[in-house]
Amino acid sequence: ADGPVSPDDAVRYVDGILEALDYSHKAGVVHRDIKPGNVMVTADGIVKVMDFGIARAVSDSSSTVAETTQIIGTAAYFSPEQAKGEPVDGRTDLYSTGVVLYELLTGRQPFRGDSPVAVAYQHVSETPNPPSEVNESSPGHLDPIVLRALAKDPYQRFPDAASFRAA
């Protein structure tokens, strides 16, 4: 609410998220609802990912986000495949983490609209402006990392949380 955080803090927070996702993905669990409200930073600065309530094992046959007619997740942090009701895997969480990183660096989400459907549509069809174009204090060397995490095609994203962390 107070705007962007420092780039160092943004990287530290996202590193903690990716560490947790690396662990859960190796266990075969996709979170499916990565967003700031599901991330806690303890008093001693440890980042914790919470609320695995809609997480599913990757091998679970019902691991699409379309459940009857209800879409599960939060539209502002949806991956394109979630928005389209397609099957998801760990790269979905990496996309959502990219949205969180974008927001940490710019003070706003990459896509905004009048309704969740409008925002979901943008996740599927729009390319976000690089963070450094939205906030000149955001270091330009992070732009390609954020934009790769936000690639529409899951195969164009980082293949796993460890690769995103390394970048």
Q: List active site positions.
A: 33
Distance (Å, rounded) from C-alpha 35 to C-alpha 94?
Answer: 11
Q: Return the structure tokens found at 44.
A: 């001693």
∠ at Cα 76 (124, 136), nearest 5°? 95
Distance (Å, rounded) from C-alpha 95 to C-alpha 2?
Answer: 24
Q: Return the structure tokens found at 61.
A: 């046959």
Angstrom CA distances, 77 to 49, 136, 140, 150, stand at 15, 23, 22, 10
Instruction: Identify the burial level of 22 via C-beta atoms within 10 angstroms of its C-beta, where 0-12 means exposed, 13-18 middle and 19 or more buried.
Output: middle
